[in-house]
A and B are shown apart, each in its own frame.
Chain A
C-alpha cells in the first residue's frame, strides 16, 4: 500500500516537470468564421481580424497593439501587413499587385489608396514583406522585386529586382534574411540578405533530395524555418527519410545550416529526431524546440552543447527527454452567467499554426501564445552536471538556478568534489572573457586586434550570464554555516575555486582569502593555513596582514607570517615599525629602518619612549646613541631638534649616565 502511494508521488512529481508552457496571458482575437478572416504578420507580430472584408471593421492585435479601423471591401484579402513604422498598410488582394493606404494613429486610414503591380510579365506574387522603414519586397514566382514607398507622395519607387524561379519563400525579420526555394525540385536554395536599399545574394546551396513523389517539391515550405541562434542566422530544415526495406518506420532529421558573415552557408549541425510525422519548429532562448503533433510532445535541442562531430557536421541529441507542453486551461463561461470555469485545452491541436520565433496561434479559438521555457524544470532533467552548467550559462535569467545547482552540489559533498573543478573551469573561463571584454571596453578597441574582437562579440552572444567572485561569495560560500556542512568541505571548495581562478589568471578578491583564513582558524587548522601562506596561495595585502596579526593569540606563528607579508608589500614600513615596537623589539626596529634607509625620517620620541619603559639602561643607551649619530649626520650636532620634543629623554639619559655633571 505504502509503496503504491510512494510511486504515485514520484509520478506526479515527474509529471510536474513540464519544461515548456504557453504564455499565461494569450493575445486574444476574433476567431476565424464565415464572416471573419484572420491574418498574422510575423514581422510586427500582429493579428489582423477582418470582418466582412473590412467593412464592419479590422481589428489589429499584438502584444501591445490594439487597433481598430474600417476599410472598404474590395474583394478577398490574400495578405495584409503594416509597415515597420506603422505608417503604411499594405494589402494584397490579387496575385499581380499590392495596394497601399497611408495610416496614422490619429487619422486612421487615409481615404486614398495607391498600388504597385509586380513588374515581371506573367508573374504571380507569392507574397510580400516589409523590410527596412518604407521598403517592401514582392516575391513572385519569377523573382524578387524591391520597392521603396514614399507615402507623402503616395509614390512607389522601384529599387532593385532579381530574376529567379521561386517556388516559395520565407523571411526572418530578426536577421533580414530571405530564403527562396528554387530549381526544378525546389531544393536549390538562394538566401538573400536585405539591407536598406539593397539585396545581397548569399552563396547558393542545395539540400540533398530524398526520393520524392513526382510532382512534389523535394523541400516544402513548412519544413523550413529561419532563426537566429546565438547571434548567428540559421536555416533549420526538417528532413523526412521514408521507411526502407530495413526500417519499417521512417526517420526524421533536423539539418541546421549556419550563415557565416552573411556570405556563406554551411551545414553545421544534424539532429536526429526519434520520431516521424509532422513537426513544427520554434526557437526560445536560442534553443530549438521541435513540436511533434502525433505524440503530443516537444523536444529541446541546443547547438551549443557538445555533440559528436564527424569532421564537418556536429550531431546532437536532445537536451532532455520529450515532454508535453504544460497542460493549459481556458476560462470559459460556466452554467451561470456570472460564473467562469476552467476548461482544459487540447494542446497540439490540428488548428495550431506555428510562427517564428516562438509563436503558436489557434485561429479557430482566437488565441496567440508565446512558447515559454521553464528553465528550473528543464534543469532538473539534465543529468550531466557539466553540460547543465554550460547549458545554463547560455540561458537568460538562469543565474539563480545555476547558483542553486552549485549550492546543491556542495551540499552533496564529499562525493561531488570530483565534479567541482570542471564546473569552476566553465564558470571562470566565461568570467575571464567577461573581464577581458570589460577591460577592452575601458581601454577602447585597438585596431590591430580586430579578429579577437569578433571572437569576443560572439562570446557575449553565446553566454547570457556569468558568475563572478562576489556571486560565489555572497550567494554560495557565505551561506554555509557550521551545522549544514563540515567546514573542511568549505576549505576544499574555496581552494578549488582559488585554484581555478588562478589558472585563469583572475586576481582573487580579498574577501575570498579572508574566508579561507577565518574558516581555517575556526577549524583550528593552523598548520594548513601556515602552508597556504608559505606557498603564497593567499596574496599579500595590508588588511590580511592585520588579520594575521590579530590571530597571534590563537596561533603564535601568525605574527611571523604577518611580518613577512608586510615586508613583501614593501610599502608598510610604518606598520612594521609599530609591530616591532609593540613587541618591545626596539633594536630590530632600528636595524630595520636603517636597512630601508629611513633613519632620517622616523620619530625619535617613539623609540626613546619604548626603550625607556623597558627599564633596560643598556638598551636605552643604544637607542639614544643611535639618534645622536643620526642628529650629527642631519644637523652636525648630537642634540635633538626642538621640534622633536625629546627633552624628557635627554634628561633621562643624563640621569642615567652623566653622574659627574
Chain B
C-alpha cells in the first residue's frame, strides 16, 4: 500500500477576455495568476483553454455558462463574478500510487473531490476579496487612481496571502451553505441585545450598522444576510481565532484581562487601538452590493465571550475610542452576564452515540451542526469524510427536488445518512447503527425532528 495524496491547488487565475482585442495582446487579459512561477506563455495557454471550454459549452446551453470541468487528474472550476471577469480554480485530484505486474501507476480518486464544494470555495474567494478590497468594478472606477494596474496590484496583494490559507482538504458542506450559527436565546435577552445595539447607533452617529456575536454565534445582524455571511465567516474563521491565539501567546495578559483603557471592565478592541496611544489602521469593508454599495470601517470589540461589530463611516472625532470603550465595556459586561445565564440553559449535551444532525435554512442562512465540534471547523469533524461527501451529494440532489423530499442512504460502514427537505429547509441526520432497518431509522429521524424542529413547520 502506498500513501494517498491530498487535494492540491494547481492553478488559480483571474482574467477579463475583453482586455485583449488583437492577437498578440493576450497577456493583457491576465489579471492574476497563481502560481506566479508559471511562465507567461503557459499562463496565456491555460487561460485560452479555459476560455475555449467556456465558449464551447455555452453553445449547448445558451445563457448558462459552464460551472466545472472534470479531467482525470484535475477538477476545473469556472466562475464569472462580474461581467467579463472570470475566475478559474484548478485543483489536483488526490491519487494513490499502485503497483501492478511490476509497473507503478496512479489511481486518481475523483470521488474525493466535490465540485460543488470547490465551487463554493471559489465563490468565497471572490466575496472575501470584494468585502475588503471592493468589487473589480469599484477598483477600476475608483475616482483617484482606478485602473487595471490598481486591480492587478490589489488582486496580487490579496490573493498571494489568501490562497496560502486555503484549506481545500478540510472543506465540506458548510462551505456550500456559507451560513451563520444563531445563538438560541429567549425573547427578553434578545431584546436586551437588540436595544443595546440600537442605543449604540443612537449614541454614536458614526455607527451605521452593528452586529453582535456570542461564543462565535450570531445574535443580531444589522447587515443584510449576504454581507453578514462573509463577515461572519471571516470573524469566526480568521479574525477571532487569531486574536485569541495572540492573547494566549502573550503570557503576561490573561485571556479575560481588562481593557487597556480602564480596569473597570473586560472589553477590548480586536480591530482598532490595543492601547490608548496605539493608532492602528482599521480594516475597511465594502458592503451593500445589492442596493447601494458603501465602504465603512469595521471595529470589532470583544468583552468576555461577546463580540460587537460596528461599521462606522469615520473615526475622526477625538476621544472616539475612549468614549466607545467606556460605553461598550461597562454595558457589555452586564449584558454578557444575562446572556451567559441563558446560554447555559440552552446547551444540551450530545453524547457520543446519539445521532448527529445538520440543519440549514437558506432563507436566513442559519445552520446548526452537531457533526462539527464547537463551530470550530476544520479538523474537528466527528464523522468520516465519506459521510460528509454523501451529505454534499444529497444536498446537490435536494436542490433538484421541488418543495419537499427525503433521501436515505446507507453506507458500507453502517452509516445511515438521511437528508430531508421541507419548507425550504434542509435537515441531515447521521446515524451509525448496525443491523438497523429503514423503519427504525425513520422513527429515529422523526424523533429527532420533533425534538429539534418543534417550533417550525417541517413535515
Interface residues of A (CB under 8 A from B): 413-415, 417-418, 421, 491-492, 495-496, 498-499, 502-503, 527-528, 530-532, 534-537, 556-557, 560, 563-564, 566-568, 576, 583, 585, 587-588, 591-592, 595
**A residues within 8 A CB of B425?**
560
Which of chain B's residues 441-457 have a Cβ closer than 8 Å to chain A? Answer: 455-457
Which among A421, A527, A556, A563 is the interface contact of B457 at CB below 8 angstroms?
A563
Interface of A is mostly: helix
Which among B192, B220, B366, B457 is the interface contact of A499 at CB below 8 angstroms?
B192
Q: B363 in the interface, Cβ–Cβ < 8 Å?
A: yes
Report yes or no: B222 in contact with A528, Cβ–Cβ below 8 A: yes
**A residues within 8 A CB of B141?**
none
The 8 A CB mask of B172-207 against A (1 = contact, 0 = none) is 000000000010011110111011001101110100
Report yes or no: B190 in contact with A535, Cβ–Cβ below 8 A: yes
Which among A418, A536, A560, A591 is the interface contact of B203 at CB below 8 angstroms?
A418
Asked, given contacts A495-B198, A576-B457, whether A557 binds B191 with beta carbons under 8 Å apart, the answer is no
Asked, given contacts A502-B191, A585-B404, A588-B404, whether A563 binds B423 with beta carbons under 8 Å apart, the answer is yes
Q: Report the separation of the CA atoms of residues A502 and B422 in the bound assembly, to the nearest whole angstrom.
A: 33
**B residues within 8 A CB of A534?**
182, 364, 366
**A residues within 8 A CB of B182?**
534
Q: Report the separation of the CA atoms of residues A418 and B199 in the bound assembly, to the nearest whole angstrom.
A: 7
- The distance from the CB of B194 to the nearest CB of chain A, in whole angstroms, is 6
Q: Report the separation of the CA atoms of residues A584 and B3 in the bound assembly, to the nearest whole angstrom.
A: 53
Interface residues of B (CB under 8 A from A): 182, 185-188, 190-192, 194-195, 198-199, 201-203, 205, 220-225, 361, 363-364, 366, 403-404, 422-425, 455-457, 459
Q: How many A-B residue pairs have CB under 8 A?
A: 95
Report yes or no: B188 in contact with A499, Cβ–Cβ below 8 A: yes
Report yes or no: A415 in contact with B202, Cβ–Cβ below 8 A: yes
- The distance from the CB of B229 to the nearest CB of chain A, in whole angstroms, is 11
Q: Report the separation of the CA atoms of residues A528 and B222 in the bound assembly, to the nearest whole angstrom.
A: 7
Report yes or no: B456 in contact with A564, Cβ–Cβ below 8 A: yes
- The distance from the CB of B309 to the nearest CB of chain A, in whole angstroms, is 15
Report yes or no: B192 in contact with A595, Cβ–Cβ below 8 A: no
Q: Report the separation of the CA atoms of residues A591 and B363 in the bound assembly, to the nearest whole angstrom.
A: 23
Report yes or no: B187 in contact with A417, Cβ–Cβ below 8 A: no
Chain B residue nearest to A540 (CB atoms) is: B455
- For B220, B221, B222, B403, the residue with the greatest tally of chain A CB atoms inside 10 Å of its CB is B403
Chain A residue nearest to B182 (CB atoms) is: A534
23 contacts between A and B (CB under 8 A): A414-B202, A414-B203, A415-B203, A418-B202, A491-B198, A495-B194, A495-B195, A495-B198, A499-B188, A502-B191, A503-B188, A527-B221, A527-B223, A527-B364, A534-B182, A535-B185, A535-B190, A535-B191, A560-B361, A564-B457, A587-B404, A588-B403, A591-B459
- The distance from the CB of B67 to the nearest CB of chain A, in whole angstroms, is 24
Chain B residue nearest to A556 (CB atoms) is: B363
Report yes or no: A535 in contact with B404, Cβ–Cβ below 8 A: no
**A residues within 8 A CB of B220?**
531
- The distance from the CB of A502 to the nearest CB of chain B, in whole angstroms, is 5
Asked, given contacts A502-B191, A564-B457, whether A417 binds B364 with beta carbons under 8 Å apart, the answer is no
Which among B187, B403, B422 is the interface contact of A583 at CB below 8 angstroms?
B403
**B residues within 8 A CB of A563?**
423, 457
Asked, given contacts A530-B363, A563-B423, A576-B457, whether A498 binds B191 with beta carbons under 8 Å apart, the answer is yes
Shortest 8 CB-CB contacts between residues of A and residues of B: A414-B202, A417-B202, A557-B363, A499-B191, A535-B190, A563-B457, A567-B457, A492-B198
Report yes or no: A560 in contact with B363, Cβ–Cβ below 8 A: yes
Chain B residue nearest to A524 (CB atoms) is: B291
Report yes or no: A560 in contact with B201, Cβ–Cβ below 8 A: no
- The distance from the CB of A499 to the nearest CB of chain B, in whole angstroms, is 4
Report yes or no: A537 in contact with B202, Cβ–Cβ below 8 A: no
Report yes or no: A492 in contact with B404, Cβ–Cβ below 8 A: no
Chain B residue nearest to A536 (CB atoms) is: B187
Which among B187, B188, B222, B424 is the interface contact of A560 at CB below 8 angstroms?
B424
- The distance from the CB of B400 to the nearest CB of chain A, in whole angstroms, is 16
Q: Report the separation of the CA atoms of residues A532 and B203 in the bound assembly, to the nearest whole angstrom.
A: 22
Q: Report the separation of the CA atoms of residues A530 and B455 in the bound assembly, to the nearest whole angstrom.
A: 15
- The distance from the CB of A317 to the nearest CB of chain B, in whole angstroms, is 29
Report yes or no: A595 in contact with B459, Cβ–Cβ below 8 A: yes
Report yes or no: A414 in contact with B185, Cβ–Cβ below 8 A: no
Asked, given contacts A534-B182, A563-B423, whether A557 binds B364 with beta carbons under 8 Å apart, the answer is yes
Report yes or no: A417 in contact with B403, Cβ–Cβ below 8 A: no
